[in-house]
Amino acid sequence: MNANHTALASQLAERGYCLIPGVLPPGELDDLRRSVARDVRIHTDMPMPVGHVPGFLRVNQALAPFLAHPRVLGLAQSLLGPHVRISMLTGSVNGPGIPRGAFHADWPYNQDSAACIPAPYPDLLMHLVTFWMLTDFTEENGATVVVPGSHRKPNHPRKGGPVDPLAPHPHECRLLGSAGTVAVCDARLWHAVATNRTDRDRVAVIVRYAPWWLNLDPLRPGTVDRQDIVDATGGANAEVPSLPASVFERLPETVKGLLRYSADDPGSPG
């Protein structure tokens, strides 16, 4: 682990998140933002102002050249081991007027998911959530609300529990950063959507990195684990559609290894 990764890992261990500024080239940010915002609005699975597209790489590959960026992937590998995978890639637009959401932890810790690690879950980092900021994340435009240190707790706020997930937390703050920054979070970190009080979209791509040993099949339609754990029980769970071979084959070689498991047929011609 190099010195930069050591410092970032220390911040992540203490606060549950860290920021890596300047990952995306300034000269490409406008095109990236416009491309992502357009395709999120076209393909969102929720009504605006909540723009949300799981499996976003199927419809937009603008961020693909950067997904193996050594400052981000190197940190992920230093924390999760060398055989890291991208488990989810989601296009996100928080439009003007979006309401505040509930505090939660992300998969596989979120207890509202059918496939989850039951609480009290262990004090162990198993999944990284990264926010690739294509606009500035500010107080005014709804930068994500986080509770520093909450990743060390064995559960997250749930309806009817001792902590109201919809109420402001006394120690909450915002995940603030300039466009081009990548915020890296422990998936256990309590976080919530914040209200966008501006007249412009806040745009990001959310990329999650997992170690090789974390079972991702419950996320994938058509797998045995998805059928047995999620479909058979009618439970809620994140969904990661498979990546068409034609898209996979056009990805940079440095990125294919991170997504090979999720491609329909990695060996087929593009």
The stretch 33-39 carries a mean pLDDT of: 98
The stretch 211-224 carries a mean pLDDT of: 94
The verdict on residue 202 lying in a domain is yes
Give CA–CA dist 45/222, Å, rounded: 20
Confidence at 233, pLDDT banded by 50, 70, 90: confident
Confidence at 269, pLDDT banded by 50, 70, 90: very low
The verdict on residue 238 lying in a domain is yes
The verdict on residue 9 lying in a domain is yes
Confidence at 236, pLDDT banded by 50, 70, 90: confident
Predicted local confidence at residue 237, as pLDDT: 82
Q: pLDDT exceeding 90 applies to what percent of the chain?
A: 90
Q: Say yes or no to pLDDT of 267 above 60.
A: no
Side-chain half-sphere CA neighbours of 231 within 13 A: 13
Helix H, strand E, coil C: the string for the chain is CCHHHHHHHHHHHHHCEEEECCCCCHHHHHHHHHHHHHHHHHHCCCCCCEEEECCHHHCCCCCHHHCCCHHHHHHHHHHHCCCEEEEEEEEEEECCCCCCCCCECCCCCCCCCCCCCCCCCCCCCCCEEEEEECCCECCCCCCCEECCCHHHCCCCCCCCCCCCCCCCCCCCEECCECCCCEEEEECCCCEECCCCCCCCCEEEEEEEEEECCCCCHHHCCCCHHHHHHHHCCCCCCCCCCCECHHHHCCCCHHHHHHHHHHECCCCCCC
Give per-residue pLDDT as tens, 240-251.
Answer: 999 999 999 999
Which CATH number do you get for residue 137? Answer: 2.60.120.620
The verdict on residue 205 lying in a domain is yes
Give CA–CA dist 31/211, Å, rounded: 31
More confident residue, 235 or 162: 162
The verdict on residue 268 lying in a domain is no
Q: Say yes or no to pLDDT of 13 above 60.
A: yes
pTM: 0.95
Question: How far does CA 176 lie from the centroid of its chain?
Answer: 16
The stretch 39-44 carries a mean pLDDT of: 97
In 3D, which of 106, 110, 105, 103 has the Cα closest to residue 168? 103
Question: What's the Cα-to-Cα distance from 57 to each of 5, 48, 68, 105, 146, rounded to whole Å?
Answer: 27, 20, 14, 23, 26
State the total domains in the chain.
1
The stretch 260-266 carries a mean pLDDT of: 80
Q: Say yes or no to pLDDT of 252 above 60.
A: yes
The stretch 223-237 carries a mean pLDDT of: 89
Question: How far does CA 58 lie from the centroid of its chain?
Answer: 16
The verdict on residue 32 lying in a domain is yes
Q: Supply the mean pLDDT for the chain.
A: 94
Region of 183 (left: φ > 0; alpha: ψ -120 to 50; beta: rest) is beta
The verdict on residue 269 lying in a domain is no
The verdict on residue 55 lying in a domain is yes
The stretch 175-195 carries a mean pLDDT of: 98
Q: Say yes or no to pLDDT of 270 above 60.
A: no
Predicted local confidence at residue 265, as pLDDT: 64
Range of the domain at 165: 3-262
